[in-house]
Amino acid sequence: MSCLRLYGGLITAHDAIAKSNRAEVRRRSAAAVVKRPVAMGTNRRRGHQTARYAVAAKLSLRICAEAPPRNPQRWVAVTRCEQLVCAAGSMRMTEKGSRATPRVLAVIGTRPEAVKLAPVVHAFWQRPEVELRVLATAQHRAMLDQTLAFFGIRPDRDLNAMRPDQSLAELTAQLLLLLDPALKEEAPALVLAQGDTTTVMVVAMCCSYRDIPFAHVEAGLRSGDLRRPFPEEQNRMFAARVAALNFAPTKCAADNLLREGVRPESVQITGNTVIDALQWTLARVAVSKFQVQQGQRLVLVTAHRRENFGAPFDQLCIALRRLADRADVRILYPLHPNPNVRQAAKLALGDHAHIKLVEPLDYPDMVAAMQACDLILTDSGGVQEEAPSLGKPVLLLRDVTERPEGVLAGAVRLVGTDPERIVREAVRLLDDQASYAAMAVVRNPYGDGHAALRIVDRCCAFLRARH
């Protein structure tokens, strides 16, 4: 980014913040802003003007942290301002073609990856000694774009890999062909990815081929069954073996890595970044759009796991219909884009008056729905981690889980897809206040909201040692 572009970006982002209705922002930041020059002249002069304007922008960010804007749209300007301020701090006037700071490349493919890496991206923006770039593979397209926009993240590079109805083999082959030349051109000092998707497995493989250090966020989750979940279990096992840094969310995850022979010096327990993202989001959502009438109970359902396709999903739909037959139950089911889920759900559930099938919710709406509901039925990994922070019991529609901490803490109960068991456990929680309270008051075992800072600190220390 040139000084001229950076200067203009700072002006735009700072002014967007200052236009908020907070008089304190206008009064205090205006006193710090220097008069804008009409012409910029030399690179040296541009650099000086950029640095002076960055001081004013930093002050605006500090004021917004003390008194956050009421309008959620203002946070896009705030996060863009954070990114630009950090770029201003890290800028060096070097000869053409040279790089003054090590580059970290964050690779994001799906919505869950975007949610869980957003706090890490924000934390990197506060570290001037590192140049962060974001690469989107777009393994998911619309759902990824919505989430990145909410967190104020604009990818520096987009591979646009999503194709309708592509197989795992086709997706893997396409990502290999797209990611390898991208890594060659970006030439990062460190590559960062999160989770267990095909994007994560392929970027780990490409980094291994090019001898680029790879950092795996949310490393060490294991179900012990390569087919459940598939292909996620094998993806995360491969990523851990080639990673230079493995950021385990819990002690259990770290122990899994050590048992597999992963180098102990590569493993650090950080907590899960989804708790960082959840805490950031809670201050910016409204639950009113999902509230039901007094006396009604809202059950939130998410189900999309590959191992549940076919007969297990049909069994789940039987359970949902039986549960929705209760006069006091309303079911909200955001449908995953996968046609194996959408078509079966619409056919089995679309005609029930108490079941509302909706398009996928963006992340803030999903958080609002979790806040508004009484009970969650899910096969999602992220929802298992978030729900305890919201005091919502979870019935997990799987037979095994790579996140045993929630089960052991009492916040999550495994029920599989057997209709009898699902209905029995759901009715018990809806009708028995003591049983409900026992699951709702559990302390979240997945993190404290500071995982991203620990990850960035370790990455920066790793880069300093290598450079």
Backbone angles phi and psi of 269, in degrees to 5:
-85, 125
Claim to verify: residue 263 and residue 312 sit in the same structural domain: no
Is 43 domain-assigned? yes
Is 147 domain-assigned? yes
pLDDT per position in the chain (467 positions), as tens? 444 455 455 555 555 555 554 554 444 444 434 333 333 333 333 444 444 455 555 555 554 554 554 454 555 555 555 555 544 444 433 333 345 689 999 999 999 999 999 999 999 999 999 999 999 999 988 889 999 999 999 999 999 998 888 899 999 999 999 999 999 999 999 999 999 999 999 999 999 999 999 999 999 999 999 988 899 999 999 999 999 999 999 999 999 999 999 999 999 999 999 999 999 999 888 878 898 888 999 999 998 877 778 888 899 999 999 999 999 999 999 998 777 788 889 999 999 999 999 998 999 999 999 999 999 999 988 899 999 999 999 999 999 899 999 999 999 999 999 999 999 999 999 999 999 999 998 788 999 999 999 999 999 999 999 87
Claim to verify: residue 311 and residue 434 sit in the same structural domain: yes
The count of domains in the chain is 3
Claim to verify: residue 434 and residue 456 sit in the same structural domain: no
Claim to verify: residue 144 and residue 241 sit in the same structural domain: yes
Calpha distance 204→135 (Å, rounded): 14
Burial profile 73-111: b = 16 or more Cβ within 10 angstroms, e = fewer: ebbbbbbbbbbbbbbbebbeeeeeeeeebbbbbbbbbbb
> What's the chain's Rg over C-alpha atoms?
23
Is 79 domain-assigned? no
pLDDT value of residue 152: 94
Claim to verify: residue 226 and residue 302 sit in the same structural domain: no
Amino acid at 383: V
Is 91 domain-assigned? no
Q: What is the CATH number of the domain that holds 236?
A: 3.40.50.2000
Q: Which residue has the tokens 């679309």?
A: 350
Residue 277: name the closest of 47, 90, 118 by CA: 118
Claim to verify: residue 296 and residue 405 sit in the same structural domain: yes
Is 170 domain-assigned? yes
Q: Quote the domain boundaries for residue 33.
A: 3-72
pLDDT value of residue 377: 97
Is 40 domain-assigned? yes
Amino acid at 32: A
Claim to verify: residue 351 and residue 421 sit in the same structural domain: yes
Claim to verify: residue 340 and residue 367 sit in the same structural domain: yes
Claim to verify: residue 252 and residue 110 sit in the same structural domain: yes
- Which residues are annotated as catalytic? 196, 218, 232, 304, 306, 336
pLDDT value of residue 80: 54
pLDDT value of residue 394: 96
Contact status, residue 386 vs residue 379, Cβ threshold 8 Å: no
Is 83 domain-assigned? no
Claim to verify: residue 115 and residue 202 sit in the same structural domain: yes
pLDDT value of residue 172: 94
Is 189 domain-assigned? yes
Claim to verify: residue 193 and residue 301 sit in the same structural domain: no
On the question of a cis peptide bond just before residue 229, with omega within 30 degrees of 0, the verdict is yes
SS (H, E, C) the chain: CCHHHHHHHHHHHHHHHHCCCCHHHHHHHHHHCCCCCCCCCCHHHHHHHHHHHHHHHHHHHHHHHHCCCCCCCHHHHHHHHHHHHHHHHHCCCCCCCCCCCCEEEEEECCHHHHHHHHHHHHHHHCCCCCEEEEEECCCCCHHHHHHHHHCCCCCCEECCCCCCCCCHHHHHHHHHHHHHHHHHHHCCCEEEEECCCHHHHHHHHHHHHHCCCEEEECCCCCCCCCCCCCCHHHHHHHHHHHCCEEEECCHHHHHHHHHCCCCHHHEEECCCHHHHHHHHHHCCCCCHHHCCCCCCEEEEEECCCHHHCCHHHHHHHHHHHHHHCCCCEEEEEECCCCHHHHHHHHHHHCCCCCEEEECCCCHHHHHHHHHHCCEEEECCHHHHHHHHHHCCCEEECCCCCCCHHHHHHCCEEECCCCHHHHHHHHHHHHHCHHHHHHHHCCCCCCCCCCHHHHHHHHHHHHHHHHC
Claim to verify: residue 262 and residue 303 sit in the same structural domain: no
Q: pTM (2 decimals)?
A: 0.77
